[in-house]
Structure 1
Amino acid sequence: MTKFVPGDIVEVETPRGHAYVQVTHNHPSYPEVVRALAGPYEQGADAATLARLDTRFIAMIPLAAAVDMGSVSARLMGNAPVPDALKAFPKFKMSILDKHEGKRENVAYWWFWDGDTLSYDVDPGPEIEDIPPREVMSIEEFVRTISPP
């Protein structure tokens, strides 16, 4: 049974080559929180070098489960410290839609979750664009999203 811990750098095979993620957090009720590492990737780079790459996006994905089920081919490259700016559990967002005439269309407000508590905002600013959604990303979508260009 595969288990990833914070700091683990994982190489993921995609249809267009390898991509890399770093596990940043484990939560008892959700799968791993990972940050996708931005390329370009140096051939033969070690975990410490890869950990210094910029973050493309943050997501919750069932990476270990996908490896165990054979849904994705991945290998552990090593472990390196999570960057200081990402050590706190990330904030995730979820839109709550208004129901109008039987349809859910407009956002009534946003819920924000920090791993422990929920808060909300009815009119957040543009910084909301940088907050990842509070949803578990499918492995198929994850592989498509991290695939090198």
Structure 2
Amino acid sequence: MKLSPGDIVEIETDAGFSYVQVTHNHVSYPEVVRVLPGQHNARPELALLAKAPSGFSAMFPLGGALEQGRISGRKVGNYAIPDADKAFPTFRMPVRDRQGQVVYWWLWDGEGLRLESEAGEANDTLPMREVMPLDGFMARLS
């Protein structure tokens, strides 16, 4: 299933419905999505939900997971992406020493990498540069 930026997908979870919005497509990765807040027993007003702050962002093959039946959900609309989420998110990737300690971070903005040698709290909030596995994605939704 081809999803485009702005598309909102309703996903069935054990706790109710979760909603994600596709923010970006990248030629080398699956969709970049932002998770919209809350678990819902019924479909909320999507225009309002689309304006809400993101719970988290991730690279996740949402269209493929829907098409293959790996998750139960459906596209329910297309809404403007909030200004705070229009830029491609910066993803982080740790480089570790032999003891497993992070020596520095590579930060990726969808085009280029930059080195970040200072471990700072700001890096802790960035999503990891990985294609999130299905189990991890669904666990974070719940």
Per the TM superposition, whether the score is higher than 0.5 is yes
- Deviation of 1:39 after TM superposition, in Å, equals 1.7
Q: Equivalent residue of 1:85, what SS?
A: helix
Q: Which position in structure 2 is the counterpart of 1:112?
A: 107
Aligned 8 A contact 1:48 1:79 in 2: no
Aligned length: 142
Aligned 8 A contact 2:95 2:106 in 1: yes
Cα separation, 2, equivalents of 1:107 and 1:140:
25
Q: Which position in structure 2 is the counterpart of 1:21?
A: 20
Choose from 127, 141, 144 the match for 2:139. Answer: 144
Tell me, yes or no, if structure 1 residue 52 matches structure 2 residue 47. Answer: no
5+ residue gaps, structure 1, are none
Cα separation, 2, equivalents of 1:21 and 1:66:
13
CA deviation vs aligned residue, 1:37-92 (integer Å, no higher than 9, x gap): 11264834343122022211000001111111110011111000000111110000
RMSD: 1.4
5+ residue gaps, structure 2, are none
Runs of 4+ in 1 over 4 A off after TM superposition: none
Greater radius of gyration (CA) = 1
- The percent identity for this pair of structures is 47
Cα separation, 2, equivalents of 1:123 and 1:45:
41
CA deviation vs aligned residue, 1:98-133 (integer Å, no higher than 9, x gap): 12xxxx411111000000000011113211111110
CA deviation vs aligned residue, 1:24-43 (integer Å, no higher than 9, x gap): 00000000000111126483
Choose from 129, 133, 137 the match for 1:134. Answer: 129
Which of the pair is proportionally richer in strand? 1
Tell me, yes or no, if structure 1 residue 5 matches structure 2 residue 4. Answer: yes
TM-score (normalised: structure 2): 0.94
